[in-house]
């Protein structure tokens, strides 16, 4: 069906929060705001949830010593029309020392964003990658649990990531924010049954 003249009406973060307070979203509904669009987040299957838990545990074992905080399923502020909820985020410590209780971390606070993809691979490699690059998120990983590989994007310039690489289970990588760390892709992937 042609969409001549039909334009979606983007929402702001403020409107998004007012809708939540007004009860427009079901209490159990998982949504996020990306580029003014309210997007449903698919339910987490066991493999997705296990992979997120595995990544968080792995990063918690090494990132606090690096002066960083590891967060899972917490929003980040990307501007007036975007507040995504990444699976895992590594952020600089809150300058106020209160775990970002006054505001969500913004691009200047975010050291690494990780999305775990099973049914969401197209969204994670498409609209989410574009939103993170435009916001200047310095490094973005997509962990593909089905194919068992990691897509790494870094060096955002002019709204695009200049560096992109796909790594397999036998590969290692070091986050740009922590070049001394050597992380095995296999260590981030949950075991399939």
Q: Residue-wise pLDDT tens for the chain (193 aa)?
A: 556 778 888 999 999 999 999 999 988 899 999 999 999 988 888 999 999 999 999 999 887 767 899 999 999 999 999 999 999 999 999 988 889 999 999 999 999 999 999 888 999 999 999 999 999 999 999 999 999 999 999 999 999 999 999 999 999 999 999 999 999 999 999 887 6
The total number of structural domains in the chain stands at 1
pLDDT on residue 8:
84
How does DSSP assign 44-104, residue by residue? PPHHHHHHHHHHHHHHHHHSGGGT-EEEES-----STT-B---SEEEEPPPTTSSTTSSS-
What pTM was computed for the model?
0.92
* Residue 171 half-sphere exposure toward CB, CA atoms < 13 A: 12
Look at residue 58 and tell me if it is in a domain. yes
Predicted confidence at residue 179, as pLDDT, reads: 92
The pLDDT value recorded for residue 52 is 96
Domain housing 80: 44-188
pLDDT value of residue 166 = 98
135 domain-assigned = yes
Per the domain annotation, does 26 fall within a domain? Answer: no
Neighbours of 128 (CB within 10 A): 25
Flag whether 34 is in a domain.
no
Note whether residue 38 is domain-resident. Answer: no
In the Cβ-directed half-sphere of 183, how many Cα atoms lie within 13 Å? 26
145 inside domain: yes
**Which pLDDT belongs to residue 12?**
95
**DSSP-derived 3-state class of residue 129:** helix
User: What is the structure's pLDDT at 42?
Assistant: 85
126 lies in some domain: yes
In a domain, 16, yes or no: no
Helices (H) and strands (E) counted in the chain, each on its own, are 5, 10
CA distance 78 to 182: 28
Residue of 101, 107, 119 lying closest to 46 (CA atoms): 119
CB contact at 8 A, 181 and 66:
yes
Residue 65, domain CATH: 3.90.1570.10
């Amino acid at each position: 069906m042609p969409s001549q003249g039909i334009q979606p009406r983007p929402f702001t973060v403020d409107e998004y929060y007012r809708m939540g307070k007004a009860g427009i979203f079901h209490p159990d509904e998982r949504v996020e705001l990306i580029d003014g669009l309210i997007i449903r987040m698919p339910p987490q299957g066991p493999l997705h949830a296990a992979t997120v838990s595995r990544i968080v545990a792995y990063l918690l074992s090494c990132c606090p010593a690096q002066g960083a905080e590891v967060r899972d399923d917490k929003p980040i502020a990307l501007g007036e029309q975007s507040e995504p909820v990444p699976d895992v985020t590594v952020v600089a410590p809150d300058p106020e020392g209160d775990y970002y209780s006054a505001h969500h971390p913004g691009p200047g606070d975010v050291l690494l964003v990780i999305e775990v993809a099973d049914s969401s691979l197209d969204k994670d490699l498409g609209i989410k990658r574009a939103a993170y690059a435009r916001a200047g998120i310095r490094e973005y990983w997509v962990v593909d649990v089905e194919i068992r590989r990691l897509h790494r994007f870094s060096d955002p310039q002019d709204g695009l990531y200049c560096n992109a690489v796909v790594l397999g289970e036998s590969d290692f990588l070091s986050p740009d924010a922590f070049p001394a760390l050597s992380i095995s892709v296999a260590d981030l992937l949950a075991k399939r049954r």
